Each structure stands twice: as structure tokens, then as C-alpha cells.
Amino acid sequence: MADRHAALVRSPCVGVCALDADDMCVGCQRTGDEITRWFDMTNDERREVMKKVAVREERVAL
């Protein structure tokens, strides 16, 4: 219940919205499904996505 009153985890969207052949946004590194579900996710679910985004960003940087 506390999650409902906590500040929402902000979207990593950077306004560069284009999915690649792997269904990954080239701007925010979320999958199409993660983008679609974002507003229905709990903060815990959003934090898990953000962890995945960080790993994906590292791969892109290499």
C-alpha cells in the first residue's frame, strides 16, 4: 500500500521513440511491452525495468 503513495518512478523516455528489430526502443532501451505497460506498473516493477535499462545501456555503450 505504501507504494501507492510514494512518488512514481519516472519514465526513462527521452523522446526518441523508435523500436529496433529486437523490439527495443533506441531512445530509452525499454521493450515495446515495457513501454506499453509502464503506466500500469507498480514502482517495484518500474525499478526492475530500470535495472534492465541500465544493463542494456551498458551494452549499447560498448
Domain boundaries, the chain: 2-61
Instruction: Pull the grid cell for residue 12.
Output: 526513462
CA 37 to chain centre: 9
pLDDT band at residue 4 using 50, 70 and 90 as cut-offs: low
Cell of 34: 515495457
Q: What's the pLDDT band for 3 if we cut at 50, 70, 90?
A: low
pLDDT in tens, 12-58: 999 999 999 999 999 999 999 999 999 999 999 999 999 999 999 99
Q: For residue 46, which of 8, 13, 14 has the smallest C-alpha distance?
A: 8
pLDDT of 59: 87
Residue 2 banded pLDDT, cuts 50, 70, 90: low
Cα–Cα distance list, 24 to 2, 5, 9, 16, 48 (Å): 31, 30, 20, 12, 16
